[in-house]
Copies of this chain bind each other. A is one copy, B any other.
Amino acid sequence: MSAYAELMAFQRQTEALAQVAGRLGWDQETMMPRGSAEQRAEESGAIQAVLHARRTDPRIGDWLENAEAPNEAGAAQLRHIKRDHERATRVPGDLAEALARLTSRSQGIWAEARAKDDFTSFAPVLDEVLTLKRQEGQALADGGDVYDALLEDYEPETTAAEIAALFDAMRPGLVDLRARCLAHPERPALGGAFGAAEQLKLSRELAEVFGYDLSRGRIDQAVHPFSSGSGDDVRITTRVSEADPFNCLYSTIHEVGHACYEQNIGPQYALTPLGRGVSMGVHESQSRIYENQLGRSRPFCHWLYGRMRDAFGPMNVGEDEFYACVNRLHRGYIRTEADEVQYNLHIMLRFDLERALIAGDVQVSDLEAAWNDRFEADFGYKVDRPSNGVLQDVHWSVGLFGYFPTYALGNVYAGCLHEALQAAVPELEAQLGQGDLREATTWLKASVQQFGGLYAPRDLITQACGKAPGAAPLMGYLDAKFGALYPE
């Protein structure tokens, strides 16, 4: 066997084990009995230790030295393996295992703290997480920027400085647009109660309309909606609020965007480094364009309005009001419930705070106050309780520092892709009005999803759109859409 073939056979087993580890994470959020958390922490630690040992296996270095890529895809495989191997060898094994154990434990503590609305019961373990993540970042950075080193896990070949520049350029426009919209009296949310069973049934239909292959996936309920797995086993979760059906329905469409990306990667890349979405930013571009540019569009809302009447009986709003409800700006607190305009401001808050936490410029003991101050500055009113503020997101509890900015980067990429999609599919509006997503999702599969990790994120978006990504398409789209919804 050639060095390349040996390396790829070894890597294939590693990828299969990574899928097993991912399935264990899915189980923890959906199926695991509540009394199993401590044992699960050891199980997760053990499989992560196995993965770490494989990723740092010295044979990888030897194989890489002698491997000859058979083609362009092979060269991309080697690039991924080399980067992952270098990063893995930089993190000491005991640190990796300690992080896996700690974050499995700390997530439970976060959930309890959130339920009790008590940040102080979460702060000590967050401090431990932060300490270990800083150590990990320092090991990865090898003298470079610690936050950038963590960011690389989620958005390769992108720096915090680039993101900060992008965000800083967008922020005045967003603040202005938000202010213009919220100068209007706040619109009421959709009234009424919506049965959980009917919501789940409709969300399943939406998942299929957007192309999710349920023979290679499944939908369960969890506290925090997510997508998990690659290839032929990609699962999503959703959640149900009887008062707010859009929570369930749009969470589902969002996660379906992620899941379709994983399901639609070329099968020749299955269980290889190219067989996963290339970055969180590109991943988020798929979930966002499914959810927002397509799912929250005027024509799709026409179709959805009809389906909701079928599912829940007569609505107490007309179709235009319904569309306005789907896209209403609300003086809320929760990132995952935010509209397309304010969402990005939520991200910018987290991005700045987590950079400061990693840099040591903000201490955990001051985090709640820092969050509350920044929130009031950006949103104009005070956080009323920790579960509406600093405790609302799972990310930091599981050590996901560097993850948040990819959400807004995904919005930017989604804006670019939407512009290109509109040019490529002239009948898009009419199709959306009939709940027909086939041409749109086929274009996204052909332009983005099928390639998996073959191209670097920016190159992929550039190739799909015919030009380099920037904030202009997203900002133009938001101005037009929300300017019309909230006319001056």
A34 on interface, CB distance cutoff 8 Å:
yes
Docked-complex contact B42 and A216, CB < 8 angstroms: no
Highest count of chain B CB atoms <10 Å: which of A12, A232, A235: A232
Q: Which single member of B40, B47, B214, B233 contacts A40 (CB below 8 Å)?
A: B233
Distance between A17 CB and nearest chain B CB, rounded to angstroms: 5
Given contacts A31-B31, A214-B33, is CB(A232)–CB(B20) below 8 Å? Answer: no
Cβ of A43 under 8 Å from chain B: yes
Q: Could you tell me if A19 and B43 are in contact, using CB atoms closer than 8 angstroms?
A: yes
Q: Which of B17, B43, B218 contacts A16 (CB 8 A)?
A: B43
If A17-B47, A23-B24, A31-B218 are given as contacts, then 14 extra A-B residue pairs at C-beta distance below 8 Å, sorted by A number, are A13-B49, A16-B39, A16-B43, A20-B46, A20-B47, A23-B27, A33-B218, A35-B213, A35-B215, A35-B216, A35-B232, A39-B231, A39-B271, A42-B271
Q: Does A46 contact B23, Cβ atoms closer than 8 Å?
A: no
The smallest C-beta distance from A52 to any residue of chain B, in angstroms, reads: 12
Complex CA–CA separation, A77 to B19 (angstroms) = 32
A50 to B34, CA, bound (A): 28
Q: Which residues of B contact A232 (CB under 8 A)?
A: 33, 35-36, 38-39
**11 A-B contacts, Cβ less than 8 Å apart?**
A13-B45, A16-B45, A17-B47, A19-B39, A20-B43, A23-B24, A31-B31, A33-B214, A33-B217, A35-B216, A36-B216
A23 surroundings in chain B (CB, below 8 A): 24, 27, 43
Tell me the number of copies of this protein.
2
User: A270 on the interface (CB 8 Å rule)?
Assistant: yes
CA distance A190 to B13 in the complex (A): 51
**Residues of the B chain whose Cβ atoms lie less than 8 Å from the Cβ of A32:** 233
CB-based contact B46/A13 at 8 Å = yes
Q: Which chain B positions have C-beta within 8 A of A13?
A: 45-46, 49
- For A41, the closest partner residue in chain B by CB is B16
Q: How far is the CA of A404 from the CA of B127 in the complex (A)?
A: 54
Chain B residues contacting A19 (CB-CB under 8 Å) are 39, 43
Q: Tell me the interface secondary structure of chain A in the complex.
A: helix
CA distance A40 to B232 in the complex (A): 9
Residues of A273-319 whose CB lies within 8 A of B:
none
A interface residues, Cβ below 8 angstroms from B? 12-13, 16-17, 19-20, 23-24, 27, 31-36, 38-40, 42-43, 45-47, 49-50, 213-218, 231-233, 235, 270-271
Q: How long is the Cα–Cα vector from A213 to B214 in the complex, in angstroms? A: 33
**CB-contact partner of A33 in B34, B42, B46, B215, under 8 A:** B215
**Docked complex Cα distance between A27 and B13 (Å):** 19
B residues near A24, Cβ cutoff 8 Å: 20, 23
Query: In the complex, A50→B49 CA distance in Å?
Result: 12
Chain B residues whose C-beta falls within 8 Å of the C-beta of A49 in the assembled complex:
13
A34 nearest in chain B by CB position = B215
9 shortest interchain CB distances as A-B pairs: A16-B46, A35-B215, A36-B233, A35-B216, A39-B232, A13-B46, A16-B43, A36-B232, A16-B42
Given A20-B20, A35-B216, A233-B33, CB of A12 within 8 Å of CB of B42: yes
For the complex formed, measure the closest distance between the CB of A240 and the CB atoms of chain B, giving whole angstroms.
Answer: 19
CA of A49 to CA of B39, assembled, Å: 22
Residue on B nearest A217 in the bound complex, by CB: B33
Give the residues in chain B near A20, CB-CB below 8 Å: 20, 24, 43, 46-47
Closest-CB distance, A40 to chain B (whole angstroms): 7
CB <8 Å contact, A39 and B215: no
Residues of B within 8 A of A218 (CB): 31, 33
Alpha-carbon separation in the docked complex, A467 to B423 (Å): 84
Contact at A216–B17, with CB atoms within 8 Å? no
Report chain B residues within 8 Å CB of A36: 216, 232-233
Name the residue among A33, A40, A215 with the largest chain B CB count within 10 angstroms: A33
